Chains A and B, each alone.
Chain A
Amino acid sequence: EIIMAQSPATLAVSPGEGATLSCRASRAVSFNLAWYQQKPGQTPRLLIYGASTRATGVPDRFSGSGSGTDFTLTITSLQSEDFAVYYCQQYHTWPLAFGQGTKLEIK
């Protein structure tokens, strides 16, 4: 079973600035890594799959990178609607596994 670890747990950033979120897998997952955004009371939304491919309708200020065990989600020029919890998830092997989440909050 692969364990996903995200850092930091909470990140405070001012609107207009950028943010970098990290995700590490306990074993290599190749490029089989997704990022999700979840706002309070809402369903998770797929942002990135294949480590770096934006899902349909996702703004280009969101970008993903990495392979193997270390991955990054970068958000440039944060908008008010971007403050949410972000989860990474590996789908290289079953069982799928989510990280514990990074809460991105307004500074």
Chain B
Amino acid sequence: QVQMVQSGAEVKKPGASVRLSCTASGYTFSDYYIHWVRQAPGQGLEWVGLVNPGRGDTNYAQKFQDRVRLTSDTTTNTVYVEVSSLRSEDTAVYYCAGDIGPYDRTPGHWGQGSLVTVSS
């Protein structure tokens, strides 16, 4: 079955960068887009962006365009999100999620989440 396995929790200082990974299995990696969604403590879900793993195409929410980079590695079926210039407001659980198909590009298969804590 489809599985998305994410890297572990990170603690970073303000101004630093963080890189999280998400390894997919159980399907053809290039067939489905992978989204990143974050959730700050006690808050709702916020879409960060997506990557087409096969082509490397990306799309970002406007607020993240300058500080977030999504990449993919087809040799390891892994996608990465890198967030730079971290600030306390970036403290959140970051989820990756594969979409459910070419006609419904919405997150359907979620990873377990990676907690990023930004603190001095």
**Chain A interface residues (CB < 8 Å from chain B):** 1, 32, 34, 36, 38, 43-46, 49-50, 55, 85, 87, 89, 91, 94-101
Is B18 interfacial (CB 8 A cutoff)?
Answer: no
Contact with A along B90-112 (1 / 0, CB 8 A): 00000101001001111110111
Cβ contacts under 8 Å, A101 to chain B: 44-45
On whether the beta carbons of B59 and A91 are closer than 8 Å, the reply is: no
On whether the beta carbons of B104 and A49 are closer than 8 Å, the reply is: yes
Is B62 interfacial (CB 8 A cutoff)?
Answer: yes
15 contacts between A and B (CB under 8 A): A1-B62, A43-B95, A43-B112, A44-B95, A44-B107, A45-B110, A46-B108, A55-B100, A85-B44, A87-B45, A89-B106, A95-B47, A96-B50, A98-B45, A98-B47
Cβ contacts under 8 Å, B97 to chain A: 44
Bound CA span A50–B37, Å: 20
On whether the beta carbons of A97 and B104 are closer than 8 Å, the reply is: no
Cβ contacts under 8 Å, B47 to chain A: 89, 95-98
Chain B interface residue count, CB cutoff 8 Å, equals 25
On whether the beta carbons of B44 and A91 are closer than 8 Å, the reply is: no
Q: A43-B95, A46-B108 are in contact. Are A98 and B46 (CB under 8 A)?
A: yes
On whether the beta carbons of A100 and B44 are closer than 8 Å, the reply is: yes
Expressed in whole angstroms, the minimum distance between the Cβ of B54 and any Cβ of chain A is 18
On whether the beta carbons of B106 and A46 are closer than 8 Å, the reply is: yes
On whether the beta carbons of A43 and B44 are closer than 8 Å, the reply is: no
**Chain A interface, DSSP helix/strand/loop, else mixed:** loop
Expressed in whole angstroms, the minimum distance between the Cβ of A77 and any Cβ of chain B is 25
Closest chain A residue to B61, Cβ basis: A95
On whether the beta carbons of B110 and A44 are closer than 8 Å, the reply is: yes
Bound CA span A89–B105, Å: 11
Bound CA span A87–B106, Å: 13
Bound CA span A38–B37, Å: 13
Expressed in whole angstroms, the minimum distance between the Cβ of A94 and any Cβ of chain B is 5
Cβ contacts under 8 Å, B44 to chain A: 85, 87, 98-101
